[in-house]
Amino acid sequence: MIKATELRVGKVIILDGKLVRITNFEHITPGNWRGIVQIKFKDLMTGIGSQRRINPDDKFEEAYLDTKPMQFLYKQGDVFVFMDNETYEQPEIPADIVGEAANYLRENDEVKICFHEGKVVSLELPASVVLTIAQAEPGIRGNSVSNVFKPATLETGLQIKVPNHINQGDKVKVDTRTGEFMERVND
């Protein structure tokens, strides 16, 4: 068991029977009043975020996750097929567990799959990925202001905003946490 004041960002706990990852933690001590702990968390099964104020003396069960590097092979209907790099097993993971990570997955990409008590609970992507622009309107000549953005579709189907000078076929680095354009990548 772990006390509320020992919680930290990234810690995985069991809260109300659900597996959650702490995304924000704040221990508030207002003057001479009793302290409170404000946490924001994300349900690992549904991906839904929430927040709660808790008593600093509350205790929670810490959940331990096993992570394995796996290679994404292909998508078949509502199922994503991965391959364990050591045993060559090919687990099928439902689309609701893969969630938003599907926007950044290409065949043969390696990701970390998180297990809790033998069940897949989530995927961990790298902080950024390099993807190719599949469709983008050409930039308007003479419109060279640095903060002009246009919509573009990536090879995975994700739509993002890119600077005006980015064209179809260019490779770009995308932040997997926010889904935003980071920079153009040269081959």
Say if CB 163 and CB 148 are below 8 A apart: yes
pLDDT tens-digit profile of 83-109? Answer: 988 888 888 888 878 878 888 888 888
| Nearest residue to 42 via CA among 13, 78, 71, 85 | 13
pLDDT recorded at residue 142 = 60
**159, two tokens:** 């739509």
Instruction: Note every long-range contact of 180-184, with CB atoms under 8 Å and residues 24 or more positions apart, other chains counting.
Output: 181/149, 182/128
Say if CB 4 and CB 60 are below 8 A apart: yes
Cα separation of 183 and 175, whole Å? 10
Q: Is 80 exceeded by the pLDDT of residue 166?
A: yes
DSSP string, 167-181: -TT-EEEEETTT--E
* Mean pLDDT value across residues 126-134: 87
pLDDT recorded at residue 141 = 64
Supply the DSSP symbol for 140: P
72 CB-contact burial (10 Å; exposed 0-12 / middle 13-18 / buried 19+)? buried
Cα separation of 113 and 121, whole Å? 8
Lowest mean pLDDT among 30-34, 77-81, 141-145: 141-145
| Structural domains for the chain | 2-62 (2.30.30.30), 66-124 (2.40.50.140), 128-185 (2.40.50.140)
Q: Is 70 exceeded by the pLDDT of residue 3?
A: yes
Per-residue H/E/C for 18-64: EEEEEEEEEEECCCCCCCEEEEEEEECCCCCEEEEEECCCCEEEECC
pLDDT tens-digit profile of 107-118? Answer: 888 888 888 888
pLDDT tens-digit profile of 23-64? Answer: 888 888 877 788 888 889 888 777 788 898 888 888 988 888
pLDDT tier at 187, thresholds 50, 70, 90: low
